[in-house]
Amino acid sequence: KLPGFDPEQWQKRLESALKQAEETSGTNDLSAWSFYNMGSLQQALGRTAEADATLQKVFLLPDHMLVYHLTRLARAQTRE
């Protein structure tokens, strides 16, 4: 454990980052990376069903910089 680590503070930061990602998702064309990032944040927050649905959207867009591979790894972690 890290000294001074406050899980509630990081929970709030994750929630804030996810909210910001979701807000910007409606304003531009999303890349596969956008869905990967949102899905990863949802996973970190324990929203596994929501994360899996978001990560599935990655495969509807062109692969770029190994995002398909990283998404498969992320999805496999939730199934363990």
Note whether 34 and 23 are within 8 A (CB).
no
Which residue has better confidence, 3 or 49?
49
Note whether 38 and 22 are within 8 A (CB).
yes
pTM of the prediction? Answer: 0.83
Q: What is the pLDDT of residue 27?
A: 65
71 has a pLDDT exceeding 70: yes
Q: How far apart are CA 62 and CA 48, in angstroms?
A: 24
pLDDT tens, residue by residue, 14-58: 999 999 998 887 666 678 899 999 999 999 999 999 999 999 999
In the chain, what are the domain boundaries? 31-80
Question: 66 pLDDT band (50/70/90 cuts)?
Answer: very high
